[in-house]
Amino acid sequence: MKLLERKHPLAIRWFHWLNFPLLFLMIWSGLLIYWANPVYRVGIGDQTLLKLTVDQSVYRKLHINNRLAEGMALHFFFMWFFTINGVLYVAYTAFSGEWRHLLPNRHSFREAWQVVLHDLHIRKEPLPRRKFNGAQQISYTGIILMGLGSLLSGLAIYRPVQFAWLATLMGGYQMSRFLHFWITVGYLLFFVVHVAQVVKAGWNNFRAMVIGREVVAVGNDDKLGPVAIAPSQGSTES
Amino acid sequence: MSDERDRHDEPAAEPASLEGPLPDREADEQIRRMTRRGLLVMAGSVGAGIVGYKWLRNSPREAGVEWPLRRTLEANERLSRAYFSRARISPTFSKSDITRPRVNGHQGLDVKADASAWRLNLQGLASGTASVGLAEIKALPRREMITELRCIEGWSTIVQWTGARLSDLMTRFPPITRDGRAPDVEGHPGNLASYVSMETPGRGYYVGLDMESALHPQTLLVYEMNGQPLNWHHGAPLRLAIPVKYGIKNIKRIGTIRYTNVRPADFWAERGYDWYAGH
């Protein structure tokens, strides 16, 4: 026997998949803007580990040089869709009760550590069989806070006089720009880990983000009726 | 174990039979059906998204940018102008914060121009036109501020500006009004001409400003920069410092100031940038 268990509500699946191209377009247009003044680097003091100033010949090869006006026009167009999608997502999770699965609690941090050990094959015990484990709760809540950080730092850069209090709160105009950039690098890191975990968790888990349901194998217990034995494929990561 | 999941209220369109355990074959068939449908909807959405994006990028351009993007820039401008207040001040700094000034392009800065022959032409005045010398600008109340000049490219410098408020020049030489009545710069600034146009001598560079930004107390006609008389590369003898705008609006070597009720042309707005470019 198999159970087609409800996992992701329809609204959340739409918010999730719409966010993917929208965030991509925000990053892409942001890169067209960054080109005009590519100043950031990874390093300590004068030691530069990784210069985020790409050589102009690379920019020309990718055809992203001299496109500042285009980048700004696109950025200030898609920002509305990106923001509205994010706000609706947060509102939906708040009103539907989905936040109960997503918000970390006092156990999440200990559990997140166990998940890390498990994923590194150091800890052998199985992970808790819940919709989202502690590591996921922290990541999925953190990414929303990063989204809020992008919005606020973006507003501080966009209108640094009308929202001077916000720019000051962020540490000034250049600091707002700095935060706005590094939050974006954070999205890319999230993306890499997220996709790796989805690949690791397998098709059943991925499919649940498309159709909303996950297949769970069940056996028959005479007293309890059908009980879950195990998800037919890994299902604790996504 | 499934009570947590039962809280979802999915549309009742799903057959109720899906909620219980199903024999393997039926479950597989159901999941195949749902997957097929899900992937079709996804493929359709991706297709619609690509068509939509192509439509956007292939729309006819208006002043260097696709018209839906231009409309959005204008809508963003309306929102920004509705929120704008002259009471909100660009943060000011101390002398020790001043950074090395940067010259970023020479549009309109013709080196052969004759500084001694320079006069400021005022047009669109209630009294018609006027021609003003630098001494008359310097006779207006002298203002000083240390503010951040933010370039649209992303960099910024901190500069000490010394000059006269554009609003003080307007009090001295009142602009035309919207309704044709006599101007009252201090009492009824909302009735002044909607826009200000500024150009370099020879019109190699020109900017358009909304009147609210022009009247901002930090909008200065500058003749000294970082404690020194303005030099040639920074727009001598007179330039604009307007911290409520990007650097592109801080026009150097102003030759003409014109008040108008028709939205003026702007050098960079004609090349795909936002006309408002406000902060």
Give B204-260 pLDDT, tens digit per residue.
999 999 999 999 999 999 999 999 999 988 998 999 999 999 999 999 999 999 999
B10/A10 Cβ within 8 A: yes
B156/A168 Cβ within 8 A: no
B38/A161 Cβ within 8 A: no
Are B154 and A36 spatial neighbours (Cβ–Cβ below 8 Å)? yes
B88/A210 Cβ within 8 A: no
Chain segment A76-125, per-residue pLDDT in tens: 999 999 999 999 999 999 999 988 888 888 888 888 888 888 888 888 77
How far off is chain B from A100, nearest CA to CA, in Å?
Answer: 10
Between CA A18 and CA A23, with CA A21 as vertex, the angle to 5 degrees is 95
Chain B touched by A34 (CB under 8 Å): yes
Residues of B within 8 A of A212 (CB-CB) are: 10
What's the pLDDT at A235? 42
The structural domains of chain A, with segments of one domain joined by +, span 2-231
User: Residue A20's closest chain B neighbor by CA?
Assistant: B46
B-contacting residues in A 103-132 (Cβ below 8 Å) = 129-131
What's the pLDDT at A112? 83
Residues of B within 8 A of A2 (CB-CB) are: 21-24, 27-28
A37/B151 Cβ within 8 A: yes
Between CA A154 and CA A158, with CA A155 as vertex, the angle to 5 degrees is 85
What's the pLDDT at B2? 43
A161/B243 Cβ within 8 A: yes
The structural domains of chain B, with segments of one domain joined by +, span 16-58, 62-271
A131/B5 Cβ within 8 A: yes
How far off is chain A from B255, nearest CA to CA, in Å?
Answer: 27
pLDDT band per the 50, 70, 90 thresholds, residue A50:
low
User: Residue B32's closest chain A neighbor by CA?
Assistant: A211
Please tell me which of the candidates A2, A100, A167 has its beta carbon nearest to residue B27.
A2
Please tell me which of the candidates B42, B150, B244 has its beta carbon nearest to residue A173.
B150
Q: Which value, in Å, is the radius of gyration of the alpha carbons in chain A?
A: 21
Find the range with the poorest average confidence among A42-46, A169-173, B80-84.
Answer: A42-46
Is B127 buried (19+), middle (13-18) or exposed (0-12) by CB count in 10 A?
Answer: exposed
Please tell me which of the candidates A17, A69, A211 has its beta carbon nearest to residue B65.
A69
Is A166 buried (19+), middle (13-18) or exposed (0-12) by CB count in 10 A?
Answer: middle
Chain segment B27-61, per-residue pLDDT in tens: 899 999 999 999 999 999 999 999 999 999 999 99
How far off is chain A from B46, nearest CA to CA, in Å?
Answer: 9
Position A35, amino acid: W
Arithmetic mean of pLDDT, B136-144? 97
Q: Please say if the pLDDT value at position A231 is more than 90.
A: no
pLDDT band per the 50, 70, 90 thresholds, residue B108:
confident
How far off is chain B from A79, nearest CA to CA, in Å?
Answer: 11
Instruction: Give CA–CA dist B51/A21, Å, rounded.
Output: 13
Residues of A within 8 A of B30 (CB-CB) are: 4
What's the pLDDT at B1? 41
What's the pLDDT at A108? 83
Instruction: Give CA–CA dist B26/A166, Å, rounded.
Output: 57
A-contacting residues in B 148-187 (Cβ below 8 Å) = 148, 150-156
Residues of B within 8 A of A226 (CB-CB) are: 20-21
A96/B70 Cβ within 8 A: no
Arithmetic mean of pLDDT, B114-125? 90
Q: What is the CATH number of domain B62-271?
A: 3.90.420.10
- For B192, list phi and psi in degrees, rounded to 5: -70, 160
What's the pLDDT at A49? 65
Top mean pLDDT of A129-143, B9-23, B264-278 is at B264-278
Q: Please say if the pLDDT value at position B12 is more than 50.
A: no
Please tell me which of the candidates A4, A161, A164 has its beta carbon nearest to residue B27.
A4
Could you tell me which residue, A238 or B25, shows the higher pLDDT? B25
Mean pLDDT of chain B: 92
B-contacting residues in A 44-63 (Cβ below 8 Å) = none
pLDDT band per the 50, 70, 90 thresholds, residue A145:
very high
Could you tell me which residue, A104 or A45, shows the higher pLDDT? A104
User: Residue A7's closest chain B neighbor by CA?
Assistant: B5
> What's the pTM?
0.88
Q: Which value, in Å, is the radius of gyration of the alpha carbons in chain B?
A: 28
Strands (E), chain A: 2-6, 41-44, 47-51, 213-221, 225-231
CATH of A2-231, one of 3.40.50.11540, 1.20.950.20, 3.40.50.300, 3.20.20.100: 1.20.950.20
Are A167 and A176 spatial neighbours (Cβ–Cβ below 8 Å)? yes
Q: Please say if the pLDDT value at position A221 is more than 60.
A: no
H helix runs in B106-241, sequence order: 134-138, 166-172, 211-214
Q: Please say if the pLDDT value at position B95 is more than 80.
A: yes
Please tell me which of the candidates B7, B68, B154 has its beta carbon nearest to residue A97.
B7
B194 to B181, B215, B240: CA distances (angstroms): 14, 11, 18
3-state SS assignment for residue B106: coil
A212/B84 Cβ within 8 A: no
Instruction: Give CA–CA dist B219/A193, Å, rounded.
Output: 49
Residues of A within 8 A of B20 (CB-CB) are: 3, 226
Please tell me which of the candidates B2, B65, B154 has its beta carbon nearest to residue A36.
B154
A-contacting residues in B 230-249 (Cβ below 8 Å) = 243-244
Which of A1, A4, A34 to probe the B interface (max B CBs under 10 A)?
A: A4
Q: Please say if the pLDDT value at position B65 is more than 60.
A: yes
Q: Please say if the pLDDT value at position B5 is more than 50.
A: no
User: Residue A229's closest chain B neighbor by CA?
Assistant: B1
